[in-house]
Copies of this chain bind each other. A is one copy, B any other.
């Protein structure tokens, strides 16, 4: 997409300082930018990198001036840059095309302008909304439903009956709707607890590569609108994740845990079964939330078992000074023994 700095500024709500006719066609880092790339500057320490860049247009805080560059002024340059990126990105043109090698069940309902890649398999009863791209080797199980304008990268598996909303992007290797992990031991063996529930992914969700999202056991696993899930994340049966929450790589959410809206989960976090993470809570990387625990709205927690960040820091500081404390107690003992 090519547009003028002025046009772009309007789309992202920025003010223009300098020539509004400069052409912008992409986003880049200062070092890699060409003349028509947009760069951004959100901290004074990066000013030199921005100045040395070939880019003619820079997104920055109000008041920033740079010789020979058009400045798009925004209160939050990084946010505005992300918006600019999405405006400038050339969306892949979806041709209404089913590759000759794709196997689409005769009764599958495929919308208009849908692209189905080589060797994709669409099972009976599946539905695919208009404008959606299904890339190579995707497997869309029996009765699974995918909304409009989705992008499934190569090798995504949707088990039978899985439901995916609109404008959802799923990266390569991800599996949605596999059986939950539940067994009851008896008579000398493990008996599988029924895993016959559903799995629903809301609108505007993005799921990274090689992630796994299990179907519900008797209930439904639900990923709400706007949720972002990173690579290698595990979401167990019956989990509910509220709108616009983000879950970083390699985190695991155990059975029947619920996350509210705008929850931020760091990488490698473990959330045990039946936990309740309220709106806006933040779980630091590698935190462990024990079974059944509630993390209150807006709380920031850290460690295993997770505790409020301040308390974690205090405890950690004290633990670091333990050798000192032991020495102080020894001296007290000596003193008292000497009396």
Contact = CB atoms under 8 A, between A and B. Distances in A.
A333 interface: yes
A159 B175 contact: no
Interface residues of A, number: 104
A262 B185 contact: yes
Nearest to A339: B339
A316 B175 CA distance: 38
A329 B337 CA distance: 14
A222 interface: no
B329 A318 contact: no
User: Could you say which of A272, A285, A307 has the most chain B C-beta atoms within 10 Å of its C-beta?
Assistant: A285
Interface of A: 26-29, 32, 76, 78-79, 81-83, 85-86, 89, 101, 103, 117-119, 121, 135-137, 139, 153-155, 157, 159, 171-173, 175, 178-179, 181, 183-186, 188-194, 196-197, 204, 206, 208-212, 214, 218-219, 226, 228, 230-232, 234, 236, 244, 246, 248-250, 252, 254, 262, 267-268, 270, 272, 285-286, 288, 290, 303-305, 307, 314-316, 318-323, 325-326, 328-329, 332-333, 335-336, 339
Task: List the number of copies, as a whole number.
Answer: 3
Contacts of A214: 209, 231
B172 A139 contact: yes
Nearest to A30: B218
18 contacts: A76-B184, A82-B183, A82-B184, A82-B193, A172-B175, A179-B208, A181-B231, A189-B226, A190-B244, A214-B231, A268-B288, A272-B285, A285-B290, A315-B319, A318-B323, A325-B326, A325-B329, A329-B329
